[in-house]
């Protein structure tokens, strides 16, 4: 029965009641009784007891406001609607707390993931600085290299062709051995991948995987010749590149 301005003022009163009730129940009460209501433990929102108390206080204040300020006779139907309206701020609070809790959890997981990734990279870098003695099949000849400096290994009949970094340039050396024997020596080193029946490549030097008319090949950062990739090794190579 109110005009527009008075109706707007009347509705604004509900917002003021909600704000005051929340300040009393969610701020003043926990500060007054810190042993009972520790805000630091509100991971998913206020405790159930406190939420029920907020609902009761807000509903009672709404009923008083409707009856004595709005001069509307109270009925069971009006009280039911009042309680439903009073539930809205509590539901919003729970959603906000849940969202904040998930954001904090995501931040913690991201930090843990970054730490784990950094630790993995540090361990990998340490391993790459280690040296390996690549031996010929009769152990009469050997080449000592850091894992990091091995670029590409190619089978050449009864020999292997080692391409490696020396003085910032790519050098080459022939050793009498099989590619399978070298693959066994490099076992456990995740950066070395078999990409062809004749080739093993260090994934650190891969710039991109190229698809051409004759099939797939690898473009290396320090080697002009393209390295062939056969289909049996394609899926494993792609997975390895995505992890690096």
- pLDDT tens-digit profile of 75-130? 999 999 999 999 998 898 888 888 888 888 888 888 888 777 776 666 666 666 77
3-class secondary-structure state, position 68: helix
Residue 74 above 70 pLDDT?
yes
Does one domain contain both 81 and 154?
A: no
Predicted TM-score (pTM) of the model is 0.48
**Helices marked H in 24-75 — which ranges?**
29-32, 48-68
Q: How large is the average pLDDT for residues 235-244?
A: 74
Does one domain contain both 108 and 175?
A: no
Residue 3 above 60 pLDDT?
yes
Does one domain contain both 45 and 151?
A: no
Does one domain contain both 118 and 159?
A: no
Does one domain contain both 84 and 152?
A: no
Please count the structural domains in the chain. 2
List phi, psi (to 5°) of 3: -75, 180
Does one domain contain both 71 and 135?
A: no
Does one domain contain both 22 and 85?
A: yes
Instruction: With beta carbons less than 8 A apart as the criterion, state whether 191 and 132 touch.
Output: no
For position 202, which CATH number holds? 2.40.50.1020
Residue 184 above 70 pLDDT?
yes
Q: What is the pLDDT of residue 111?
A: 87
Instruction: With beta carbons less than 8 A apart as the criterion, state whether 101 and 44 touch.
Output: yes
**With 0-12 CB in 10 A as exposed, 13-18 as middle and 19+ as buried, what is 100?**
middle
Residue 244 above 60 pLDDT?
no
Domain range for 97 is 4-125
Does one domain contain both 169 and 228?
A: yes
The structure tokens listed for 147 are: 């894992």
Least confident of 40-44, 57-61, 111-115, 184-188: 40-44
Does one domain contain both 140 and 114?
A: no
The structure tokens listed for 188 are: 């456990």
Q: What is the pLDDT of residue 197?
A: 87
Q: What is the pLDDT of residue 120?
A: 63
Does one domain contain both 134 and 120?
A: no
In percent, the amount of the chain with pLDDT more than 90 equals 16
For the chain, how long is the longest CA-to-CA vector?
107
Does one domain contain both 183 and 218?
A: yes
Q: What is the pLDDT of residue 243?
A: 60
């Amino acid at each position: 029965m109110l005009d527009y301005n008075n109706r707007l003022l009347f509705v604004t009163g509900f917002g003021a009641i909600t704000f005051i009730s929340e300040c009393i129940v969610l701020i003043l009460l926990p500060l007054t009784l810190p042993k009972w209501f520790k805000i630091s433990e509100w991971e998913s929102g206020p405790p159930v007891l406190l939420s029920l108390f907020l609902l009761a206080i807000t509903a009672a204040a709404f009923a008083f406001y409707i009856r004595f300020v709005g001069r509307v006779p109270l009925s069971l139907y009006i009280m039911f609607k009042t309680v439903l309206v009073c539930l809205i701020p509590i539901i919003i609070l729970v959603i906000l707390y849940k969202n904040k809790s998930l954001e904090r959890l995501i931040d913690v997981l991201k930090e843990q993931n970054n730490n784990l990734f950094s630790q993995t990279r540090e361990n990998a870098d340490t391993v790459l600085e280690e040296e390996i003695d690549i031996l010929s099949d009769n152990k009469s000849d050997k080449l000592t290299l850091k894992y990091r400096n091995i670029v590409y290994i190619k089978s050449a009949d009864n020999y292997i062709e080692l391409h490696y970094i020396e003085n910032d340039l790519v050098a080459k050396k022939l050793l009498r051995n099989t590619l399978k024997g070298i693959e066994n020596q490099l076992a456990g080193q995740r950066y070395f991948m078999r990409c062809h029946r004749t080739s093993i490549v260090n994934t650190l030097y891969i710039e991109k995987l190229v698809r051409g008319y004759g099939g797939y090949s690898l473009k290396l950062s320090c080697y002009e010749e393209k390295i062939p990739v056969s289909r049996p090794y394609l899926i494993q190579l792609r997975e390895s590149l995505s992890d690096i």
